[in-house]
Amino acid sequence: MGWIFIVAILFVILLYFIRRHGKEDDTEEIAQIRRDIRRHNLDRREKEEETKRLEKQAESENLAKERLLLRESTIKKYDDLYGTENSITCMVQGIFGRSKDAQARAGTLKLGEEVTLRPEPNNSYDPYAVKVLSNRMHIGYIPKKIAETVAECINSGPGYYAIVIHKEYVLSTYNWEYEREVELKLYLKPDPIVKKIQDCEKELDIATQNGDMETMTKLKKLLIKLQEKKK
Protein backbone atom coordinates (compact mmCIF):
# COMPACT_ATOMS: atom_id res chain seq x y z
CA MET A 1 0.00 0.00 0.00
CA GLY A 2 2.85 2.36 0.76
CA TRP A 3 4.27 2.26 -2.70
CA ILE A 4 0.85 2.93 -4.22
CA PHE A 5 0.54 6.04 -2.10
CA ILE A 6 4.01 7.23 -3.20
CA VAL A 7 3.15 6.65 -6.88
CA ALA A 8 -0.09 8.60 -6.42
CA ILE A 9 1.79 11.51 -4.84
CA LEU A 10 4.36 11.52 -7.66
CA PHE A 11 1.57 11.43 -10.24
CA VAL A 12 -0.15 14.42 -8.62
CA ILE A 13 3.15 16.34 -8.51
CA LEU A 14 3.86 15.48 -12.16
CA LEU A 15 0.36 16.55 -13.19
CA TYR A 16 0.80 19.83 -11.29
CA PHE A 17 4.06 20.63 -13.11
CA ILE A 18 2.60 19.65 -16.48
CA ARG A 19 -0.37 21.98 -15.95
CA ARG A 20 1.86 24.78 -14.64
CA HIS A 21 4.19 24.45 -17.61
CA GLY A 22 1.18 24.50 -19.93
CA LYS A 23 -0.11 27.69 -18.30
CA GLU A 24 3.31 29.31 -18.62
CA ASP A 25 3.39 28.34 -22.29
CA ASP A 26 -0.12 29.77 -22.75
CA THR A 27 0.87 32.99 -20.96
CA GLU A 28 3.97 33.40 -23.12
CA GLU A 29 1.96 32.65 -26.25
CA ILE A 30 -0.65 35.27 -25.30
CA ALA A 31 2.10 37.80 -24.56
CA GLN A 32 3.69 37.10 -27.93
CA ILE A 33 0.34 37.56 -29.68
CA ARG A 34 -0.11 40.89 -27.91
CA ARG A 35 3.39 41.97 -28.96
CA ASP A 36 2.63 41.00 -32.56
CA ILE A 37 -0.64 42.99 -32.50
CA ARG A 38 1.12 46.07 -31.08
CA ARG A 39 3.87 45.77 -33.70
CA HIS A 40 1.28 45.40 -36.46
CA ASN A 41 -0.67 48.45 -35.24
CA LEU A 42 2.54 50.48 -35.00
CA ASP A 43 3.57 49.48 -38.53
CA ARG A 44 0.09 50.35 -39.80
CA ARG A 45 0.15 53.80 -38.14
CA GLU A 46 3.62 54.49 -39.51
CA LYS A 47 2.48 53.51 -43.01
CA GLU A 48 -0.64 55.70 -42.70
CA GLU A 49 1.44 58.66 -41.48
CA GLU A 50 3.95 58.18 -44.30
CA THR A 51 1.12 58.00 -46.85
CA LYS A 52 -0.40 61.22 -45.47
CA ARG A 53 3.00 62.93 -45.53
CA LEU A 54 3.58 61.93 -49.16
CA GLU A 55 0.06 63.04 -50.14
CA LYS A 56 0.57 66.39 -48.41
CA GLN A 57 3.96 66.81 -50.09
CA ALA A 58 2.47 66.03 -53.51
CA GLU A 59 -0.40 68.45 -52.87
CA SER A 60 2.07 71.16 -51.84
CA GLU A 61 4.21 70.55 -54.93
CA ASN A 62 1.16 70.66 -57.21
CA LEU A 63 0.01 73.89 -55.56
CA ALA A 64 3.47 75.43 -56.04
CA LYS A 65 3.41 74.43 -59.72
CA GLU A 66 -0.06 75.94 -60.16
CA ARG A 67 1.07 79.20 -58.53
CA LEU A 68 4.15 79.32 -60.74
CA LEU A 69 2.05 78.78 -63.87
CA LEU A 70 -0.41 81.49 -62.76
CA ARG A 71 2.48 83.87 -62.11
CA GLU A 72 4.01 83.20 -65.53
CA SER A 73 0.68 83.56 -67.35
CA THR A 74 -0.07 86.83 -65.52
CA ILE A 75 3.36 88.23 -66.40
CA LYS A 76 2.95 87.22 -70.05
CA LYS A 77 -0.48 88.83 -70.25
CA TYR A 78 0.75 92.21 -69.01
CA ASP A 79 4.11 92.01 -70.80
CA ASP A 80 2.16 91.62 -74.04
CA LEU A 81 -0.07 94.53 -73.04
CA TYR A 82 2.50 97.02 -71.74
CA GLY A 83 5.83 95.73 -73.09
CA THR A 84 8.90 94.79 -71.07
CA GLU A 85 10.89 98.00 -71.51
CA ASN A 86 11.50 99.75 -68.17
CA SER A 87 9.76 96.95 -66.27
CA ILE A 88 10.86 95.35 -63.01
CA THR A 89 9.52 92.79 -60.51
CA CYS A 90 9.69 93.24 -56.74
CA MET A 91 8.17 92.09 -53.47
CA VAL A 92 6.05 94.41 -51.35
CA GLN A 93 7.98 95.05 -48.14
CA GLY A 94 6.66 95.55 -44.61
CA ILE A 95 3.16 94.08 -44.98
CA PHE A 96 3.51 92.40 -41.55
CA GLY A 97 4.05 95.84 -39.96
CA ARG A 98 0.86 97.37 -41.30
CA SER A 99 -2.54 97.43 -39.59
CA LYS A 100 -4.74 94.33 -39.48
CA ASP A 101 -7.06 95.94 -42.05
CA ALA A 102 -4.13 96.64 -44.37
CA GLN A 103 -2.86 93.07 -44.00
CA ALA A 104 -6.35 91.78 -44.74
CA ARG A 105 -6.52 94.00 -47.82
CA ALA A 106 -3.18 92.61 -49.01
CA GLY A 107 -4.62 89.13 -48.57
CA THR A 108 -7.58 89.91 -50.86
CA LEU A 109 -5.45 91.19 -53.77
CA LYS A 110 -6.01 89.27 -56.98
CA LEU A 111 -3.53 88.40 -59.71
CA GLY A 112 -3.58 91.13 -62.33
CA GLU A 113 -4.96 93.70 -59.89
CA GLU A 114 -3.45 97.17 -60.07
CA VAL A 115 -2.05 98.91 -57.00
CA THR A 116 -1.00 102.52 -56.52
CA LEU A 117 2.56 103.68 -55.86
CA ARG A 118 3.03 106.89 -53.93
CA PRO A 119 6.46 108.51 -53.26
CA GLU A 120 6.88 109.49 -49.61
CA PRO A 121 9.58 112.23 -49.60
CA ASN A 122 8.88 113.12 -45.96
CA ASN A 123 9.74 109.61 -44.77
CA SER A 124 12.29 110.05 -41.95
CA TYR A 125 14.06 106.76 -42.79
CA ASP A 126 14.25 107.05 -46.56
CA PRO A 127 13.39 110.18 -48.58
CA TYR A 128 13.01 107.96 -51.66
CA ALA A 129 10.49 105.64 -49.98
CA VAL A 130 7.57 104.59 -52.17
CA LYS A 131 4.33 103.44 -50.57
CA VAL A 132 2.15 100.72 -52.06
CA LEU A 133 -1.58 101.41 -51.75
CA SER A 134 -4.67 99.39 -52.58
CA ASN A 135 -8.03 101.16 -52.50
CA ARG A 136 -6.12 104.07 -50.93
CA MET A 137 -5.02 101.78 -48.07
CA HIS A 138 -1.29 101.65 -47.30
CA ILE A 139 -0.24 97.98 -47.43
CA GLY A 140 3.57 98.23 -47.66
CA TYR A 141 6.59 99.66 -49.48
CA ILE A 142 8.63 99.15 -52.62
CA PRO A 143 12.05 97.61 -51.70
CA LYS A 144 14.63 100.21 -50.75
CA LYS A 145 17.17 99.06 -53.35
CA ILE A 146 14.89 100.15 -56.21
CA ALA A 147 12.86 102.84 -54.41
CA GLU A 148 14.95 105.78 -55.66
CA THR A 149 14.67 104.67 -59.30
CA VAL A 150 10.93 104.05 -58.98
CA ALA A 151 10.33 107.37 -57.18
CA GLU A 152 12.22 109.31 -59.86
CA CYS A 153 10.28 107.56 -62.64
CA ILE A 154 6.96 108.32 -60.95
CA ASN A 155 7.85 111.96 -60.27
CA SER A 156 9.30 112.69 -63.71
CA GLY A 157 7.45 110.28 -66.00
CA PRO A 158 3.85 110.50 -67.16
CA GLY A 159 2.63 107.26 -65.63
CA TYR A 160 3.24 103.64 -64.65
CA TYR A 161 1.44 100.36 -64.05
CA ALA A 162 1.94 98.28 -60.89
CA ILE A 163 0.42 94.82 -61.26
CA VAL A 164 0.06 91.99 -58.72
CA ILE A 165 1.68 88.91 -60.28
CA HIS A 166 2.01 86.56 -57.31
CA LYS A 167 0.96 86.17 -53.69
CA GLU A 168 1.12 83.49 -51.03
CA TYR A 169 1.56 82.85 -47.31
CA VAL A 170 5.04 82.07 -46.00
CA LEU A 171 6.29 81.09 -42.54
CA SER A 172 8.30 83.94 -41.07
CA THR A 173 11.48 83.04 -39.18
CA TYR A 174 11.09 86.34 -37.32
CA ASN A 175 7.95 85.46 -35.36
CA TRP A 176 7.12 81.94 -36.70
CA GLU A 177 3.77 83.10 -38.02
CA TYR A 178 2.43 82.90 -41.54
CA GLU A 179 2.72 86.22 -43.36
CA ARG A 180 1.38 87.48 -46.66
CA GLU A 181 3.77 87.90 -49.54
CA VAL A 182 2.80 90.00 -52.55
CA GLU A 183 4.92 90.29 -55.69
CA LEU A 184 4.47 93.14 -58.17
CA LYS A 185 5.61 93.85 -61.67
CA LEU A 186 6.15 97.53 -62.37
CA TYR A 187 5.82 98.91 -65.88
CA LEU A 188 7.47 102.33 -65.71
CA LYS A 189 6.24 103.29 -69.14
CA PRO A 190 4.82 106.68 -70.16
CA ASP A 191 1.02 106.71 -70.31
CA PRO A 192 -0.70 110.14 -70.13
CA ILE A 193 -4.12 108.77 -69.13
CA VAL A 194 -2.65 106.65 -66.33
CA LYS A 195 -0.68 109.67 -65.08
CA LYS A 196 -3.87 111.76 -64.95
CA ILE A 197 -5.67 108.98 -63.06
CA GLN A 198 -2.84 108.71 -60.54
CA ASP A 199 -2.71 112.49 -60.03
CA CYS A 200 -6.49 112.55 -59.61
CA GLU A 201 -6.34 109.78 -57.00
CA LYS A 202 -3.65 111.69 -55.12
CA GLU A 203 -5.74 114.88 -55.10
CA LEU A 204 -8.79 112.86 -54.02
CA ASP A 205 -6.86 111.49 -51.03
CA ILE A 206 -5.93 115.02 -49.96
CA ALA A 207 -9.51 116.27 -50.39
CA THR A 208 -10.80 113.29 -48.37
CA GLN A 209 -8.35 114.01 -45.55
CA ASN A 210 -9.44 117.67 -45.53
CA GLY A 211 -13.14 116.80 -45.69
CA ASP A 212 -13.60 118.92 -48.84
CA MET A 213 -16.83 117.37 -50.13
CA GLU A 214 -17.17 119.65 -53.17
CA THR A 215 -13.67 118.85 -54.44
CA MET A 216 -14.17 115.15 -53.66
CA THR A 217 -17.33 115.06 -55.80
CA LYS A 218 -15.61 116.76 -58.74
CA LEU A 219 -12.56 114.51 -58.55
CA LYS A 220 -14.67 111.35 -58.34
CA LYS A 221 -16.54 112.33 -61.52
CA LEU A 222 -13.25 113.13 -63.25
CA LEU A 223 -11.78 109.82 -62.09
CA ILE A 224 -14.70 107.89 -63.60
CA LYS A 225 -14.24 109.65 -66.95
CA LEU A 226 -10.49 109.00 -66.97
CA GLN A 227 -10.96 105.32 -66.12
CA GLU A 228 -13.45 104.99 -69.00
CA LYS A 229 -10.87 106.51 -71.38
CA LYS A 230 -8.27 104.08 -70.12
CA LYS A 231 -10.51 101.13 -71.01
- Each residue's pLDDT tens digit, 52-73: 776 776 676 777 788 888 889 9
Domain tally for the chain? 2
* 20 domain-assigned: no
Shared domain for 204 and 138, answered yes or no, is: no
Helix (H, G, I), strand (E, B) or coil at 154: helix
Stretch 203-219: mean pLDDT, rounded?
88
Sequence-distant (≥ 6) Cβ neighbours of residue 188 within 8 angstroms: 86, 87, 88, 150, 153, 154, 157, 160
Shared domain for 144 and 208, answered yes or no, is: no
- CATH number reported for the structural domain that contains residue 158 in this entry: 3.30.70.2330
pLDDT at 122 over 60: yes
Residues in the chain: 231
Range scoring the smallest mean pLDDT among 84-98, 130-144, 216-230: 216-230
pLDDT in tens, 71-80: 899 999 988 8
CA distance 88 to 102: 24
Shared domain for 132 and 198, answered yes or no, is: no
Shared domain for 184 and 199, answered yes or no, is: no
Domain that holds residue 144: 83-189
Q: What percent of the chain has pLDDT over 70?
A: 76
Binned at pLDDT 50, 70 and 90, residue 119 comes out as very high
Shared domain for 88 and 160, answered yes or no, is: yes
pLDDT at 166 over 70: yes
Shared domain for 134 and 169, answered yes or no, is: yes
* 44 domain-assigned: no
CA distance 158 to 196: 8
Shared domain for 205 and 180, answered yes or no, is: no
